[in-house]
Structure 1
Amino acid sequence: MYQYTDQTYEDTDFSRSDQRDGELLRCTFVRCSFRGASLEEINTYGCRFTECDFRGASLNASIHNESAFTNCNFQGANLFVAKFTECKMTGSDFTQAQFDGITIAKGDWSYTNLREVNLSKQNLRGVRFYEADLYGSNLEKADLRDADLTRTQLSKARLHNADLRGAFVEGIDFKSLDVKGVRMDAAQAVVFLRSFGAKVD
């Protein structure tokens, strides 16, 4: 096991390297490439990754606490049973990423591309998905209580038995959703009805 503390890397190529079972503390990575790298079981604490390339990387069982991955590319990455706690993921692309068993505890996932990812049965309570793209994603039985779903793209998302109580839902196009079995509170029911043109007093 290795450990890096307070290190800064810019435009560094870690592609296809073996970085497994390491610990990164307060490190900064700017425009670095981890494409196809083995990052299984790494732990990051308070790290900053900006515009980094994780395409095809393996992050199985990795753990991230209060780290930021902003405008990063995770296309095709394997995030099986990875855990993100209070992380900032804004603007990152997760196209075709493996999300099975992932844990997302709070954090900011605004403006992310999460199209067609599997988040079924996940505890997503309090997560910020402001203007995120969740088109076609599987959110069946997901706990989205108190999440920020403002202007989130949810077209063709599967929401059967999801819990939306307390979530911010302004700007969601409910007309494109099947809300059968979805749990809502009274305020959300009003937003839902207004999206269909109803006048609620």
Structure 2
Amino acid sequence: MYQYIDQRYEGVNFGGRDLRDGELVRCTFERCTFVGASMEEISTTGCRFVDCNFTGASMNASTHSESAFLNCIFVEANLFVSVFTSCKMMGSDFSKAQLDGFTAAGGDWSYTNLRHARLSKQDLRGICLLEADLSGANLEKADLRNSDLTRVNLSQTKLKGADLRGAVMDGVNWPSVDVKGVRMDAAQAILFLRSHGAKVD
């Protein structure tokens, strides 16, 4: 096991390296590459990753607390049973990433690309997903209570059994949302009806 504290890296290529079972504390990585790196069981606390590339990286069972991954690329990365606690993931791309069993406890996932992500039965309560792209994603039986879904893209998203009560859903394109089997509160139901031309007093 290795430990790095208060280190800064810019433009460094960590691609293909064995970085397993390490601990990173308050480190900063800008425009670094982790393509294909082995990062299983790595832990980060208070770290910042800006414009970094994690394509194809193995990050299963990794844990991250109050870290930021801003505009990062996680295409085809393995995040199986990884944990993100109060992390900022704004603008990051999770195309074809393995997200089965992962945990997102709070945090800001605004502007993320989660198209076609498998997120069924996930506990996503209180998460900010402002303008995130969840089109085609599987959110069946997911718990999205009190989350921020402002202007989120839910086109062709599977929501059967999902709980949206208390979620902020301003600017959602309701006609593109299949609400069959979805748990909604009164305010959301009114928004849905108005989007379909109903006059609600």
Paired AA for residue 174 in structure 2: F
What per-residue deviation string (whole Å, max 9, x for no partner) do you get for residues 84-106 of structure 1?
00000000000000000000101
State the AA in 2 paired with 1:89.
M
| 2:10 maps to amino acid | E
Alignment of 1:94-173 (within 5 A): 94-173=94-173
For 2:189 and 2:177, the matched residues in 1 are separated by 14
Unmatched runs of 5 consecutive residues or more in structure 1: none
**Residue in structure 1 matched with residue 53 of structure 2 by the alignment:** 53
| CA–CA separation in structure 1 for the residues paired with 2:41 and 2:161 | 32
CA distance in 1, matches of 2:88, 2:170: 22
1:34 aligns to what? 34
For residues 87 and 153 of structure 1, the distance between their equivalents in structure 2, rounded to whole angstroms, comes to: 21
1:99-122 C-alpha deviation (Å, 9 max, x unpaired): 000001010000000000011000
How high is the sequence identity, in percent, across the aligned residues? Answer: 67
Q: Which amino acid aligns with 2:140?
A: E
Q: Quick one: distance in 1 between partners of 2:31 and 2:72?
A: 9
AA aligned opposite 1:109: W
Deviation (angstroms), 1:174: 1.6
The aligned amino acid for 1:144 is L
Give the C-alpha shift of residue 195 in structure 1: 1.0
- Output the aligned Cα RMSD: 0.5
* In structure 2, C-alpha distance between the alignment counterparts of 1:197 and 1:9, rounded to whole Å: 54
What is the alpha-carbon distance in structure 2 between the residues aligned to residue 115 and residue 127 of structure 1? Answer: 17
Report the 3-state secondary structure (helix = DSSP H, G, I; strand = E; otherwise coil) of the residue aligned with 2:152: coil
Between 1:169-178 and 1:125-134, the stretch displaced more is 169-178
For 2:131 and 2:178, how far apart are their aligned partners in 1?
A: 20
- Give TM-score scaled by structure 2 length: 0.99
* Mapped pair 1:71 → 2:71: yes
Give the Cα separation in 1 of the matches to 2:186 and 2:160. Answer: 19
Query: After the TM superposition, which segments of 4 or more aligned residues of structure 1 sit over 3 Å from their partners?
Result: none
Aligned AA (2:93): D
Deviations along 1:123-145, whole A, 9 cap, x unmatched? 00000000000010000000000
Q: CA deviation at 1:197?
A: 1.5
Describe the SS at the equivalent of 1:150.
coil
- Alpha-carbon distance in 2 for matches of 1:37, 1:147: 32
| TM-score, scaled to structure 1 | 0.99
Deviation at 1:75, TM superposition (A): 0.5
